[in-house]
Amino acid sequence: MAKAHHIVFANEKGGTGKSTTAVHVAVALVARGARVACLDLDNRQRTLARYMENRRETMKRRDIILPTPTVETFRDDNLARLDQMVNRLEKDHDFLLFDTPGRDDKFARFVATRSHTLVTPINDSFVDFDLIGQVDAETYKVKRLSFYAELIWDARKARAKADGVSIDWIVLRNRLHNMEARNQRRMLEAVEELSKRAGFRTISGLNERVIYRELFPSGLTLIDKGHLGGLATAHVVARQELRELVGALNLPDFAHRESQDMLLPLSASVQVSA
């Protein structure tokens, strides 16, 4: 892989699991031997950066080494500076992973339209769905694409024309509950219809689990086996969920693979639910 592969987590809405998913994907890739740099563009909340700070604290406190990406927070206010930061990090990383704020933001757009893999997590709710497209009140049929979907559509066209790169836009259905079969079916139908019109593919994300909320203070992730203590029980299924998620991202192989603990082979069973 000549140049770093850019993975952007974006969705102009908060609380959909961008940061949580980004942290888990980043750590999973590092655990596989990839050189990963995370850029936190959400300089108000800095969830990803703070998560990783907590992780470093845990390493110090427990005197352990955990797979951890390079992390930087972007605090400037001009695109040229962001570009410089990207160019600098690109030199010695296989993946650049961007976490973005849950609002309309020019820097988030900048990286989204230049991404290779664009991940938009949505919760199974028509409130989140509204960000990509509007549905009819009676039939739940898709009426029109949202501004955001149009933006990505245009960016992809421009990119394909300019440099032949196609942005792999992935809508990740996140925080799924087992309890909501009817809503899930309606959502799934709407998402599938919309995916054809807007040109994204859908994958399943993480299920709704308390553990994702509990891990933040220690900065640990599900894959930090052996360090989770009491949290570790019954999370075999959750780890499998994460493995499938990373596999479904269909990321390119990377040059600097080390023969580390192959926890999450990139070729793990790919489950694309669209």
Ligand X SMILES: Nc1ncnc2c1ncn2[C@@H]1O[C@H](COP(=O)(O)OP(=O)(O)O)[C@@H](O)[C@H]1O
Determine which residue in the list 12, 16, 190, 195 makes contact with ligand X, applying CB under 6 A: 16
Q: Does 47 bind ligand X (CB under 6 A)?
A: yes
Q: What residues between 205 and 244 interact with ligand X by CB under 6 A?
A: 206, 208-209, 212-213
Part in contact with ligand X (CB under 6 A); list of ranges 27-35, 76-84, 202-210, 253-261: 202-210
Nearer to ligand X, 47 or 94 (CB): 47
- Cα separation, 204 vs 119, in Å, equals 11
Beta bridge partners, 5, equal 95
Helix pair 18-31, 236-248: axis angle to 10 deg: 90
The one of ligand X, Mg ion, none whose footprint includes residue 15, by CB under 5 to 8 A per kind, is ligand X
Q: Which residues does 144 contact at the CB level (< 8 Å), separation at least 6?
A: 133, 134
What single-letter amino acid sits at 135? V
Among 4, 16, 17, 19, binds Mg ion (CB under 5 A): 19
Q: How far is CA 4 from CA 34, 169, 268, in A?
A: 11, 17, 21
Q: How many residues bind Mg ion (CB under 5 A)?
A: 3
Task: Kindly tell me the sign of the dihedral angle through the C-alpha atoms of 235, 240, 244, 246.
Answer: positive
Neighbours of 60 (CB within 10 A): 9
Question: C-alpha angle with apex 118: 114 to 119, nearest 5 degrees?
Answer: 155
| Sole binder of ligand X in the list 15, 217, 252, 265 (CB under 6 A) | 15
The binding track of 159-178 with respect to ligand X, each residue x by CB under 6 A or -, is ----------------x---
Identity of the residue, 47 or 117, whose beta carbon is nearer to ligand X in the bound complex: 47
Per CB under 5 A, residues contacting Mg ion are 18-19, 47
Report the interface residues with ligand X, using CB under 6 A.
Answer: 14-20, 47, 102, 175, 206, 208-209, 212-213
